[in-house]
Amino acid sequence: MTCKLFFQALTKFVTGLLLVGLLLFLPAGTFAYWQAWLFIGILFGPMFIAGIVLMIRQPELLRKRLDAKEQQPEQKWVVALSGLMFIAVFVVAGLSRRFCWYMLPDWAVFVATVVFLAAYALYAEVMRENVWLSRTIEVQENQQVVSTGLYGIVRHPMYSATLVLFLSMPLVLNSVFSFILMLFYVPIIVKRIRNEEQVLERELNGYAEYKQRVRYRLIPFIW
């Protein structure tokens, strides 16, 4: 662990925290938005803990994830579109709080919170199983196909966990309209997976055979 890595991680963490807070509370026009505070807690709390664990146990993995930049030209617009979608989701959630657009009952918010945390735990398990997990589409030096555990059920369990995480976010924030916006993430992630599989099949030894053994990409028995 180095001071440079620590401050780099801390800067990104604080920047993300402030940005999400700004996008939620400014449109809401109030800090009395308990669902937003709940969301910030369940998003950034586990993220902070995971960052500390990676910094102590796998600093190189943390450094790689902090410095990751998408190299595939086809994916750059996907990343940009995803960023715009998240901005819209948070802003609309804040506006929903301000104008009371189709507010959900509290029990629905709490159920969505449980689903979100379960998906977060699933994401952590994926990171434990796959040491080559990357934020970008790439094949790393000495990378091997991971085919056990969750990877024996679907080929992209990271995206499965991410999909559940993202779809539960608007419900935690008590925004039906934000949930509708987040549905646009589905075609985005499908596009990303198709491109990623082309790269992996071309550059990663054994991936074509793995695709034959594990049929489903994202959701068992569906796709």
Position 180 scores a pLDDT of 95
CB 171 within 8 Å of CB 164? no
**From 1.20.200.10, 3.40.462.40, 1.20.120.1630, 3.40.50.2300, which CATH number describes the 3-213 domain?**
1.20.120.1630
Position 223 scores a pLDDT of 86
Position 25 scores a pLDDT of 97
43 vs 38: CA distance, rounded Å = 9
| pTM confidence score | 0.84
Position 35 scores a pLDDT of 97
Can you give the length of the chain in residues?
Answer: 223
| Helical pair 34-57 and 3-28, crossing angle rounded to 10 deg | 170
CB 117 within 8 Å of CB 47? no
Scored b (16 or more CB within 10 A) or e, 162-178 reads bbbbbbbbbbbbbbbbb
Position 98 scores a pLDDT of 95
CB 123 within 8 Å of CB 65? no
Residue entry with tokens 């998906």: 119
Position 66 scores a pLDDT of 63
Position 197 scores a pLDDT of 85
Residue entry with tokens 């949930």: 179
The C-alpha angle 172, 176, 16, rounded to 5 degrees, equals: 45
Q: What is the pLDDT along the chain (223 residues), one digit of tens a residue?
A: 577 777 777 788 889 999 999 999 999 999 999 999 999 999 999 888 877 877 777 776 666 666 656 555 666 677 778 888 999 999 999 999 999 888 899 999 999 999 999 998 998 888 777 766 765 555 565 577 777 788 888 888 889 999 999 999 999 999 999 999 999 888 888 888 888 888 888 877 888 888 888 888 888 888 8
From residue 173, alpha-carbon distances to 157, 186, 189 in Å are: 25, 19, 22
Position 33 scores a pLDDT of 96
- Spell out the domain ranges in the chain: 3-213
